[in-house]
Structure formats: structure tokens, C-alpha cells
Amino acid sequence: MEFNKADAPPRETTDRPRRTRDPDQTRRDLIDAAIAEFSEKGFSGGRVDDIAARTRTTKRMIYYYFGSKERLYAAVLEELYGGMRNAEQALPLARLPPLLALQRLVETTFDHHAAHPEFVRLVSVENIHEARNVAASPEIIKRNAAVIGTLRDLVARGENEGAFRPGLDALDLHMLISSFCFYRVSNRHTLAAIFGRDPLAPESVAAHRRMIVEAVLRYVAPG
């Protein structure tokens, strides 16, 4: 009666037969669960017990693999920042005419933020904590700072070819692009509450995408 293994699995979160002894999978599951938890509730609001409960394993594993709540959070950040850089570096900007390259960059930035609200939320959380974990991760810094190099090249090329007006600052331009893409996701809930229109609703997405492209292209145009 107690150990009825035959006709029903004794206890299973999902119906997938749980793979015993799969450290990689266990680690992966914990990271995914932590991404969800921390991006929904923040660092202090996120609960270690709840993260464990989102997986098929137990809290013990968090401490086995990561050592502390803080270090799990740091691992989550590295993971998410990693995804961002990949998207941007996959673009063949150097082979496109400057205006088109810039348009592609804006669209990619827009799409990535739209597709990864957890990333946006975690960056918000990290800023509340004064970016202590980002500052402590040379890996995150190096990869992300590289994005600016690419944009700097593009700006220089655009100026030389006369497609862009002179005097543009690559970092400021990066901020102009990111700010809108980030804001409509990060501030989605206050915007929806105050103005009664969800900025992530399908009818807004296309309009916003066109808008930020248009705004940036007009901003860099000569004259």
C-alpha cells in the first residue's frame, strides 16, 4: 500500500519520468526557475524555497550547485546578459549600407527586448541594487562593452559616407535606441495602469517598432 510503484508514480511534478542523476539538467532547471522567480519578484522578494518548488529537485541542490541565493542570482544575470550579446553580434552590420545597418540594429534591439521581458526585469532589479553584481562580473562587462565598439564603427562609417551628420556620439546613440526598447517593457505595468493601454499588446508593437526606427533614423540624418 505504501510503495505502490506499479500503477501510479508515487510523486511527480510533471509526467516526464524524472531522470535520476542528471547534474547538468538539474543545474539548468534551477537557473530557469531562478530566472522566473527573480524576474517576477526581485532579489529580496524572490524565495529560495519557491525556486526549488518550481523544479523537480529540492532547495538542497541550490546550495550544492550555487552556494547561496546571491550566487544563484549572479549566475542568472550572466546567463541573461549572455543571450543579449549573442543577438547583437550575429548581425552582419559591416556589410550593409549605414542607414540600413542602423535600422537593422534598432529592430534587433527592439525585438530582443520584446522577446525577453525577464531580461529587462532583471536588469531593472540589478539597478535597484546599484549594479553590484554586474560590476563584479568582468565577463558581462567585456561582452556588453563590445557592442559599443560595433556601433562606433558604424557611426564613423556613416559619417564618412555622408549618410549620418557629424558629431554623433556612439554611446549616447546606443542609449537613445535602448531606452525606448527597454522602457516599454520595463514600465509596462505602470503604463498600462495609468493609460489603460498595454504597450506590449500586439497593436502597439508594430507602431512602436516603426516609431523608434523612424526617430533614430531622423536623428542621425544630416542637416
Partner DNA sequence: TAGTGTACGTACCATGGAGTTCAATAAGGC
Partner DNA sequence: GCCTTATTGAACTCCATGGTACGTACACTA
Query: Which positions touch DNA (CB under 7 A)?
Result: 11, 18, 20-23, 26, 46-49, 56-61, 63-64, 68-70
Residues 97-156 that bind its own copies (CB under 8 A): 121, 123-131, 134-135, 140-141, 144-145, 148
Which residue, 4 or 20, is less far from DNA as judged by CB?
A: 20
Which residue, 49 or 169, is less far from DNA as judged by CB?
A: 49
Which residue, 30 or 216, is less far from its own copies as judged by CB?
A: 216
Work out whether 44 is an interface residue with its own copies (CB under 8 A).
Answer: yes
Work out whether 7 is an interface residue with its own copies (CB under 8 A).
Answer: no
Work out whether 195 is an interface residue with its own copies (CB under 8 A).
Answer: yes
Work out whether 70 is an interface residue with its own copies (CB under 8 A).
Answer: no
Work out whether 201 is an interface residue with its own copies (CB under 8 A).
Answer: no
Asked if residues 28 and 55 have their Cβ atoms less than 8 Å apart, the reply is: no
Q: In the complex, which residues of this chain contact its own copies (CB under 8 A)?
A: 41-45, 121, 123-131, 134-135, 140-141, 144-145, 148, 169, 171-172, 175-176, 178-180, 182-184, 186-197, 199, 204, 207-208, 211-212, 214-216, 218-219, 221
